[in-house]
């Protein structure tokens, strides 16, 4: 009983995501779907990225959280347009939520829209929102066994940011194991080792992101 229901929901979502994608193309807005476990550093990455790039790129943000507008408030302080989606219990964003959010943010002037998903290493990977690329963050504090145990997000992502590398001396995490296991799942995966706290390694991420902006 359950599997067909899930398939129908996913198919319906894919149709709406395609409509979103067509709209983003028409408006020439590049769209990134940013995903990770809770607390891996999505919002801090966004704050850093906005500060580094917003003089060159017109950036906007859609924030997804189950509750609170804390993240949108953090982003708003950095001077870019932002809208908060509260999923009210739902564990991921879907195409419809993004479509609704587009009534509250003007994407016409934007070069780049970053969608920060609900903190969850599992469900968001199944639902396209119409993005050009999925980008994921894994914190070294989560451990090096995560690619093998949660393969779908690693498979679906174009970029993996291995974050909090400033904590490496205090953990048992082996970044080479993360690299090897993630590449086994997704040989094309682009991997950056960064610390959103110290700024280490973020230049390569900024360069990649800048390249995604359409002409």
- Is 15 a binding residue for a copy of itself by CB under 8 A? The answer is no
With CB under 8 A as the contact rule, the residue among 11, 15, 55, 67 that binds a copy of itself is 67
- Is 180 a binding residue for a copy of itself by CB under 8 A? The answer is no
Measure the CA–CA gap between 60 and 112, rounded to whole angstroms: 6
With CB under 8 A as the contact rule, the residue among 62, 75, 107, 150 that binds a copy of itself is 150
With CB under 8 A as the contact rule, the residue among 45, 154, 164, 186 that binds a copy of itself is 164
With CB under 8 A as the contact rule, the residue among 24, 30, 33, 37 that binds a copy of itself is 37
Chain centre distance of CA 154 = 12
Answer yes or no: are the C-beta atoms of 96 and 14 closer than 8 Å: no
Q: What is the largest CA-CA distance in the chain?
A: 52
Closest CA to 106 of 206, 178, 23: 23
With CB under 8 A as the contact rule, the residue among 60, 81, 95, 119 that binds a copy of itself is 119
Sequence-separated (6 or more) residues with CB below 8 Å from residue 170: none
Q: How far is the CB of 1 from a copy of itself (least distance, A)?
A: 9
Helix H segments across 29-160? Answer: 42-53, 70-76, 95-101, 146-149, 151-156
Q: Of the ranges 14-22, 27-35, 65-73, 207-215, which one interacts with a copy of itself (CB under 8 A)?
A: 65-73
Phi and psi angles of residue 89, each rounded to the nearest 5 degrees, phi first: 110, -30
List residues binding a copy of itself (CB under 8 A).
2, 5, 9, 37-40, 65-68, 70-71, 89, 91, 118-123, 139, 141-143, 145-146, 148-152, 164, 166-167, 170-172, 197
């Amino acid at each position: 009983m359950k599997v067909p229901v899930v398939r129908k929901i996913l198919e319906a979502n894919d149709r709406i995501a395609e409509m979103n994608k067509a709209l983003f193309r028409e408006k020439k807005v590049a769209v990134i779907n940013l995903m990770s476990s809770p607390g891996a550093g999505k919002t801090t990455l966004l704050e850093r990225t906005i500060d580094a790039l917003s003089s060159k790129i017109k950036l906007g943000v859609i924030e997804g959280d189950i509750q609170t507008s804390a993240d949108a408030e953090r982003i708003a302080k950095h001077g870019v347009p932002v809208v908060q989606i509260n999923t009210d219990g739902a564990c991921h964003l879907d195409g419809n939520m993004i479509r609704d959010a587009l009534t509250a943010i003007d994407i016409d002037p934007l070069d780049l829209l970053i969608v920060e998903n609900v903190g969850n290493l599992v469900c968001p990977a199944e639902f396209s929102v119409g993005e050009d690329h999925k980008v994921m963050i894994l914190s070294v504090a989560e451990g090096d066994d995560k690619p093998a145990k949660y393969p779908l997000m690693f498979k679906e992502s174009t970029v993996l940011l291995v974050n909090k590398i400033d904590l490496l001396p205090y953990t048992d995490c082996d970044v080479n194991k993360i690299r090897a296991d993630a590449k086994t799942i997704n040989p094309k995966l682009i991997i950056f080792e960064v610390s959103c706290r110290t700024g280490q390694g973020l230049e390569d991420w900024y360069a990649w992101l800048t390249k995604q902006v359409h002409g």
